[in-house]
Amino acid sequence: MSEPAKAISELFTSRFGDRVTPGKSLGGILTVEVGVDSWLEVCRALRDEEDFRFEQLTDLCGVDYLSYGQSEWDTSDASTEGFGRGVEGFGPGRFNWAERPEAKDVKQRFGVVVHLLSFKYNRRVRLRCFAPDEGMLIVPSLVEIWSSANWYEREAFDLFGIVFEGHPDLRRIMTDYGFTGHPFRKDFPLIGNVAVRYDSQKKRVVYEPVEIEPRVGVPRVLRNDSRYNTDDFDLAADAEAEAIAAKDKAAGEQEN
């Protein structure tokens, strides 16, 4: 995991050209965006070619980018009455089924994120492919390349509604039998839609609309202030530096 991200990034661009867009790298894992049209081709090459040899698909998950970067509480701007006290907006967990936010014309809303692992080179890479939003979200299935993709794709289908074309057995996996909707989408309420209980009169399990209210108290806040520079506030380092300075000073005085 020691090789520089730049080298891997160049490896990708030199092999795949403009079919891939290498992005940022953190913790030694490079993010590469791949178009949906070349998804299968790139993945197959990543598994088979000597330069890559990603033998394992470690993880695959869906991501819903609706409301990315939106905060519920404006902290950057104060009005004449000071900062807003009420929380506006319906962030995650703060709306019910009727109030759910509408998603209109969101480009690149659903992404499929794959983590690959190469045992040979001890290297990981993250691939992302956005599902084209044309009625159905269709992404080619990776099952024939890595069989571990099977359940992960079922999970992403169940929770996000991404359809994996060519998957041999695309059933729901996590949710209840007969469930409707895709619960991990950002416009699906945290409290859910239906509740299930046993009805002692009917002597069977019944489904009813949920009764509970959304109860997430903490607003979602984005703060673009100095907190990002955590290095400056590393007091332990400061204290250490001070101690060293004091020691040096004492040593200097002794010499004098």
Partner 1 sequence: MAEIRNYTMNFGPQHPAAHGVLRLILELDGETVVRADPHVGLLHRATEKLAESKPYNQNIGYLDRLDYMSMMCNEHAYVRAIEELLGIEPPARAQWIRTMFDEITRFSNHLLWIASAGIDLGAMTVFIYAFREREMVMDMYEAVSGARMHAGYYRPGGVYRDLPDTMPPYKESRWTKGKDLKRRNEWRGGSLLDFIEAFAIDVPGKIDEYETLLTNNRIWKQRNVGIGVLSPEKAMQMGCSGVMLRGSGVEWDLRKKQPYAMYDQVEFDIPVGVGGDCYDRYLVRVEEMRQSAKIILQCVDWLKKNPGHVMLKNFKVIPPTREEMKDDMEALIHHFKLFTEGYCVPEGETYAAVEAPKGEFGCYLVSDGANKPFRAHFRAPGFAHLSGINELSRGHMLADVVAIIGTLDLVFGEVDR
Binding footprint of partner 1 on the chain (CB under 8 A): 1, 24, 26-27, 29, 31, 55-59, 61, 63-64, 68-69, 71, 91-94, 113, 115, 119, 122, 124, 126, 146-148, 150-152, 172-176, 183-184, 190, 216, 218-224, 227-228, 230-231, 233-236, 239
Residue 217's region, left for phi above 0, alpha for psi from -120 to 50, else beta, is: alpha
The nearer residue to partner 1, 45 or 135, going by C-beta atoms, is: 45
Q: How far is the CB of 254 from partner 1 (least distance, A)?
A: 28
The nearer residue to partner 1, 27 or 252, going by C-beta atoms, is: 27
Q: Which is nearest to 65 in space by CA: 149, 184, 183, 164?
A: 184
The nearer residue to partner 1, 18 or 231, going by C-beta atoms, is: 231
The nearer residue to partner 1, 198 or 228, going by C-beta atoms, is: 228
Look up residue 82 and give its two tokens. Answer: 């000071």
Q: How far is the CB of 173 from partner 1 (least distance, A)?
A: 6
Q: How far is the CA of 60 from the CAs of 138, 153, 188, in angstroms?
A: 15, 7, 21
What is the Cα–Cα distance from 238 to 228, expressed in whole angstroms? 18
Write the DSSP symbol of residue 131.
Answer: P
On whether the CB atoms of residues 48 and 145 are closer than 8 A, the answer is no
Q: How far is the CB of 199 from partner 1 (least distance, A)?
A: 21
The nearer residue to partner 1, 37 or 243, going by C-beta atoms, is: 243
